[in-house]
Structure 1
């Protein structure tokens, strides 16, 4: 983009609109997720719905909100589409959590049902 500054021409780099939109969308998604996560943590006991481990304090970050119908846009106010699951679950129980990313080792006998 060229603009006139006095008698000289200067070149200005246009901002990356794609990067800006990506950042806005990521922020909106994070805010949306935090909204229903906070609601789920207020509504349900801080216990994993599958393994029954209890979580408190700093360990609450190890609980995630699982959408029972796998539709992350389906967030009813009564929380009927949510359940709290921990990050210790084997991949076949909750495939969207990669326990290796959190440095967790899942014993093989816990991974089979």
Structure 2
């Protein structure tokens, strides 16, 4: 896991797509290149765009995947925290423990699961 974290951090974490790639490595056991291709395909960008904070800022906003706020800017109309995790679970089609626990405790029922084993979107 430390290797996945190191490589994901090198991809910019939440500033770009490092956190998403790391999730795929850890939840599906994908190799780095395979995880990058999967995430890029799901987000509709190239693998080179995954490390570009400018491109990913817009992509994350459009898909509701959460963003790092810039200076004093806030994004009141954008998903944050658990809402962003719900969207990540849907977009990447993976289960996320905190999402499943939140849904159960909030009485939302279990998130829908696709044939691939992730939350359906």
TM-score calculated relative to the size of structure 1: 0.30
Please give the TM-score of this superposition, normalised by the length of structure 2. 0.29
Please identify the structure whose Cα radius of gyration is greater. Answer: 1
Higher strand share: 1
More helix by proportion, 1 or 2? 2
